[in-house]
Amino acid sequence: MSTKKIFGQELIDQAEQYVSNLNGNAIAHLKDNRTQGLAYLKENGFPGPKAEEYKFTRLTKAISGKFDFATPIAQGDLPMDKIADIKKRHAGANILFFINGVYNAEQSEIVSTVEELRIDSLADRADAHELIAENSDPFQAQNNVYVNSGVVIEVPKNKKVAQPVLCYYISVDNGVNYGFVKNIYLANESSQADFVHFHFSEGNAKTFVNETKNYLVKANANVKLYKVQEESENAVYVGNTNVYQEKDSVFSSFVFTFDGEVVRNNLNIRVDGQGCESNMYGLYLAKGKTHIDNHTLVDHIQPNCNSNELYKGIIADQAKGVFNGKIFVRQAAQKTNAFQSNGNILLSDNATIHTKPQLEIWADDVKCSHGCTTGQLDEEAIFYLRARGIDKDKAKSMILLANAGEVIEHIGLGWLKMEIADKVMERLQVD
């Protein structure tokens, strides 16, 4: 009789010890999530070298033996100079600060009224367990074990949040240098909101962030999520963004990844209502030895829906990129229109990309397409520009910026579009 090999036993033991160390000091209505998460890890373990979903991203290896996960999480010292600068730069916006995954209400500034925007602690929401996704991923299960705080950010029915909601997720040195995030974003019927998530690390210590964010988009609601990742070169990040859409809703995701040691973004969208629209845009610029992995899944359950996906990657030096995008169309999801594209440019012989666009279609009346491209800079395009008096480095930068611009042009917030364009232009100054 064969026995399944369990990887990450040390991490599982630490998870058990952490639960024991809580000594009942935990949010009561998250107990079931904690119990289920731990049971999942004991049964399935963490991803090993042959795990298909993590074949090219060795997250278990990246965190094993690096952190004391049995030690309770402390918030750590606040980077007050950074916080003051952020408040000054975004005066008039809703600003929420999360330090090592823990919401800091004292420093946060909410300009919208409670009629537009409601923020509750998970501890105060008896329905929190119902709003949390299942343990379908080992790191999501780990998240369920460790999370003992978090918020529910809710937009009431028929309300539009006039100002964007800016969420700053900051990793600081807190002795253990890890943090777990669990936040729920609830957009009720016919509501509208823009959420912008900024991720960065203070200092250059080895850090690990594991987050789960669940977006519940009710009927006729419209939600835009912008995610900007600028972690340190020693930061390991894994995030699960789970989206559930009801009829006639629109959800748009934008992911911009610039830095980090290992970054893994899981985006899972369940389209469970007719007339839905799902948009996914991503841009990743990797340099040095950065490893960036984007995994996406769109599950079309109901008919007459559209999904559109465009991810672009520019990879330099010894950096590595991974893109795995799957479109699943169930038998009932007739009249589905689904488009997916992934394009990558490698700027060195040592840069690497693994890309795998996928379609799984069980309906017969659909329009679906996918594709990917990988290559180096177009020498003919460079020659064309140089023939018009543009030097070689400038020509390369122009081509790369045009490539990235195919994603940037879809950003709906003008100030954010300018910020992202500036970051990209600064990064793409070709030597």
Which residue's entry shows tokens 């999942």?
A: 40
pLDDT value for 381: 61
Sheet holding 352-361, edge to edge: 118-121, 151-155, 178-187, 207-217, 235-245, 262-271, 291-300, 320-329, 352-361
Which residue's entry shows tokens 């699943």?
A: 328
pLDDT value for 1: 40
pLDDT value for 400: 84
Backbone angles phi, psi at 281, to 5 degrees: -125, 140
Residue numbers in the chain where pLDDT is lower than 50: 1-2, 431
User: Both tokens of residue 7?
Assistant: 């990887």
Are 292 and 259 a contacting pair, CB within 8 Å? no
> What does the chain come to in residues?
431
pLDDT value for 430: 54
Strand pairing category for 102-109 and 94-99: antiparallel
Sheet holding 250-259, edge to edge: 102-109, 94-99, 165-171, 192-201, 222-230, 250-259, 277-286, 306-315, 337-346, 367-375
Provide the β-strand partners of residue 255. 227, 282
Are 146 and 18 a contacting pair, CB within 8 Å? yes
pLDDT value for 103: 92
First to last CA, the chain: 59
> Residue 33: which residues within 8 A CB-CB, separation 6 or more?
129, 132, 144, 147
Half-sphere exposure of 262 (CA within 13 A, CB side): 16
Which residue's entry shows tokens 């910026």?
A: 401
Are 262 and 233 a contacting pair, CB within 8 Å? no
Question: Could you tell me where the beta strands, DSSP code E, fall in 16-80?
Answer: none
pLDDT value for 380: 65
Are 156 and 34 a contacting pair, CB within 8 Å? no
Task: Say what the alpha-carbon torsion angle 240, 271, 359, 54 is, to the nearest 10 degrees.
Answer: 10
**Max Cα distance, the chain (Å):** 72
